[in-house]
Amino acid sequence: MLYLTNLCMKIVPKVLSDVDMLDRLNYEPQSLSGGQKQRVAIAGVLALNTEVIILDEATSMLDPVGRTELLKLIRRLNSEKDVTIISITHDLSEAAESDQMVVLNEGSVFQIGTPQEVFSHGEALTKIGLDLPFAMRINQLIRGESEYITYEKVVK
């Protein structure tokens, strides 16, 4: 039991630091925000030294700031820790930030590809009831173009 305690004393601060929550080590869980609770949950998975993390609607109950912070953390873990992140989401703006996408329709694979490849078929996505990312909708309204576009390109 002593070994496990010593191991936890080494691992817990490290994984909390990995998710920018070390300063909350002694906080009561109920005092944490939704985004902070998500970070602690991810730290728990990192403590298992896993290569893959599956997130299911991880940002759905977060405010915009918490959502942005969590998405930055996910990207950082992917690049710095070489952790594969599989994120299940209905938010195509969030999915647009991924390296690869798998679009499901009624339980079957509808499309697979990079966001640019998938969103190049925007009309097909809307036919199955998915909203295009905000930047693409704005691009269609302003420029009348339906090509894939990022938010950064819209504001240029």
Q: Percent of the chain at pLDDT above 90?
A: 53
**Least confident piece of the model among 10-14, 106-110, 130-134, 152-156:** 152-156
pTM passes above 0.85: no
Of 89, 108, 142, the one marking the end of a domain is: 89
What is the domain range of residue 47? 1-89
Q: Percent of the chain at pLDDT above 70?
A: 88
Do 28 and 64 lie in one domain? The reply is yes
Distance, CA of 113 to CA of 125 (rounded, Å)? 13
> Dihedral sign, CA of 109, 111, 112, 114?
negative
The predicted-structure confidence for 84-133, as pLDDT tens digits, reads as follows 999 999 888 889 889 999 999 999 999 999 998 998 888 899 899 988 88
Do 80 and 127 lie in one domain? The reply is no
Do 84 and 118 lie in one domain? The reply is no
18: confidence class by pLDDT, cuts 50, 70, 90: very high
> Dihedral sign, CA of 22, 27, 29, 35?
negative
Of 61, 89, 117, the one marking the end of a domain is: 89
Do 59 and 26 lie in one domain? The reply is yes
Q: Which two tokens stand for residue 125?
A: 């996505």
Do 128 and 69 lie in one domain? The reply is no
Over range 34-58, report the average pLDDT.
Answer: 93
Do 46 and 114 lie in one domain? The reply is no
Of 89, 115, 141, the one marking the end of a domain is: 89
**Residue 7 confidence (pLDDT):** 72
**Residue 145 confidence (pLDDT):** 62
Angstrom CA distances, 151 to 69, 86, 93, 97, 138, stand at: 17, 23, 9, 11, 9
- For the chain, the domain total comes to 2
